[in-house]
Chain A
Amino acid sequence: MIIETSGLRKSFRSRAGRETKTVEAVRGVDLSVAEGEIFGFLGPNGAGKTTTLRMLATLLEPDGGSAVIAGADLRKEPGEVRRRIGYVAQGGSTWDESTGREELVLHARMYGISKADAQRRAAEALDTFELAEYADRRCKTYSGGQRRRVDIALGIIHSPKVVFLDEPTTGLDPQSRAHMWGEVRKLREMGMTVFLTTHYLDEADALCDRLAIMDHGQIVAEGTPADLKQEVLGDVVSVNAREVAKAADLFDNAEYVRKVETTEQSLRLYVEDGASAIPHVLRTLDAEGVAIEGIELHRPSLDDVFLAKTGRSLRES
């Protein structure tokens, strides 16, 4: 495992008027991330994603717990951790008056890389992220997407083993987001482990090999997107029929059906795998002469997972 954390905790004291309130931002996070995967942190605003990432990136001292990142102990050898990771902050990190190329060269040199090598790496990164055209323009003239790509190029300029991307696509239009997913996959191809945060369901689903869902400073679920969805409910086959009650009885003892629910016009069957269940369902109904008006397959989304684990919908929170 390239990242292993155990019991990471962090609380903040903040003052609201006269009272000091303690916010428990991260409340015991245990994680393991395998080398070469894209690992995602999905959670609503304030879940503690950024706080966890900042602790792992040595920017914030944890109140408790431990972590080993790329073989270096976070507490004992933060300098070594810094050398092995890259970090891209949620809010970006480019300076308006510098050019993209200058930022990249300087940042590489801060890792002890020689000038010539830094320049070569910068040129390479500018190519990889399709920034060559704007390389020598000041950052303040960049579009949101261009700036974000510079941020990410900065995070990987020293070829780290692990790169932390805090909300790499927030604020980008759908096209730039799709583009960014491509870039993130490229990082994995280059052999890096990517640890990103997001609050987009589709992004977590499409981009991440594995993910952890975080809420109120704790991890409420962890696994591949497919497993997480399976684990919660499986697929739902809903059947519109007139004789709902009669139809429902037919599935009480069917072993491929986990649970049966009925509404006035429809029957909802929770099954392991919807695609293979549909033929059985149709055959059963047909054999008993139940006339159906429609059949629909609903695959659970990560939002359903979040709902099941927290009782709230991620879309609403």
Chain B
Amino acid sequence: MKFLRDTWLVFQRQMLLLLRNPVWVAVGIIQPMFYLLLFAPLMKQALSQGGTMTDEQAYRIFVPGMLVMVALFSAFSGFGIIAELRAGVIERNRVTPVSRVALLLGRSLRDVVQLLFQAVLVTLLAVPFGLRVAVGDALLAYLLIGLMTLLLSSTGYALGLTLRSEDAMAPMLNTVIQPIMLLAGIFLPLTFAPTWLKNVAKANPFKWATDGVRALFAGNPGDDAVWQALAILTPLTVLALVISSRTFARSVR
């Protein structure tokens, strides 16, 4: 099938370029290390106010939050597409009969692979700190994270192609992602939030995603939060893919 072949073609190219520049691997390790070493101990103290909390409990709350955070950052894919736009690569792709969905999907799948690699790394790094999670639960959690990445990276591409300038993109992403992060309970679970804040957070799909990933890391794959997260992320992801592949098809300059 042409579409699958084209997607593979784009994906292959993007992977090749990614592997050629392995700085991101180092960054991908160092950044989570900062959080694990410098932030997690602080958070453990904060969370255990009034009671006691084991390292395992703390990391089960903390690591999922961090995974969602890294997934949210995949919206920064939009910067890469602006660079490609400027180099004329997008236009060069668009003048061929290549599938427009493949132009998007090949790139987004590269982002998913990159992110899953990072997610596995973060999980493994947290093990010496006391994290324990069943393989099946972790895999399901990665599925949620992968969906999130697909959703956000394709949104990032659509934004990049529409805004066409880093100067417009940076403030836009910051203003959108910050409240999303805060309202997802990434670092501190929203159980501590006042009721009005909890209600606002319910409108944030990534709050549901975070809850789902947390339930899985807590060893409760049967928790409602898991299917709720899937049910919310899947249609959003499909929508983002459709909209974004349209921006790849539309004239851009």
Point out which of A94, A106, A111 has the most chain B C-beta atoms below 10 A from its C-beta. Answer: A106
Contact with A along B115-137 (1 / 0, CB 8 A): 00000000000000000000000
- Among B9, B91, B97, point to the contact of A93 (Cβ < 8 A): B91
Contacts of A107 in B (CB 8 A): 92, 96
Residue contact A112 to B88, C-beta cutoff 8 Å? no
Residue contact B9 to A106, C-beta cutoff 8 Å? yes
Per the CB 8 Å criterion, the residue count for chain B at the interface is 21
Residues of B within 8 A of A (CB): 2, 6, 9, 13, 16-17, 20-21, 84, 87-89, 91-98, 251
- Among B9, B17, B91, B251, point to the contact of A110 (Cβ < 8 A): B9
Q: Is the interface of B mostly helix, strand, loop or mixed?
A: helix
Q: How far is the CB of A139 from chain B (nearest CB, A)?
A: 9
Contacts of A54 in B (CB 8 A): 251
Task: Compute how far the CA of A96 lies from the CA of B17 in the bound complex, rounded to whole angstroms.
Answer: 10
Top 7 nearest A-B pairs (CB, nearest first) are A93-B88, A93-B92, A110-B96, A110-B98, A87-B95, A82-B97, A60-B251
Task: Compute how far the CA of A111 lies from the CA of B16 in the bound complex, rounded to whole angstroms.
Answer: 20
Contact with B along A101-126 (1 / 0, CB 8 A): 01000110111100000000000000
Any B CB within 8 A of the CB of A97: yes
Contacts of B16 in A (CB 8 A): 102
Q: How far is the CB of A101 from chain B (nearest CB, A)?
A: 12
Per the CB 8 Å criterion, the residue count for chain A at the interface is 29
Contacts of A91 in B (CB 8 A): 88
Residue contact A96 to B87, C-beta cutoff 8 Å? yes
Contacts of B91 in A (CB 8 A): 59, 89, 93
- Among A61, A82, A94, A109, point to the contact of B95 (Cβ < 8 A): A82
Residue of B nearest to A90 (CB): B88
Any B CB within 8 A of the CB of A177: no
Residue of A nearest to B18 (CB): A97
Residue contact B87 to A95, C-beta cutoff 8 Å? yes
Q: How far is the CB of B52 from chain A (nearest CB, A)?
A: 51
Residue contact B97 to A112, C-beta cutoff 8 Å? yes
Contacts of B96 in A (CB 8 A): 82, 107, 110-111
Contacts of B88 in A (CB 8 A): 89, 91-94
Given A83-B97, A95-B87, A112-B97, A154–B92 Cβ distance below 8 Å?
A: yes
Q: How far is the CB of A232 from chain B (nearest CB, A)?
A: 36
Point out which of B6, B88, B89, B92 has the most chain A C-beta atoms below 10 A from its C-beta. Answer: B92
Task: Compute how far the CA of A54 lies from the CA of B93 in the bound complex, rounded to whole angstroms.
Answer: 13
Q: How far is the CB of A302 from chain B (nearest CB, A)?
A: 29
Task: Compute how far the CA of A303 lies from the CA of B127 in the bound complex, rounded to whole angstroms.
Answer: 76
Contacts of B87 in A (CB 8 A): 92-96
Contacts of A111 in B (CB 8 A): 96-98
Q: How far is the CB of A26 from chain B (nearest CB, A)?
A: 14
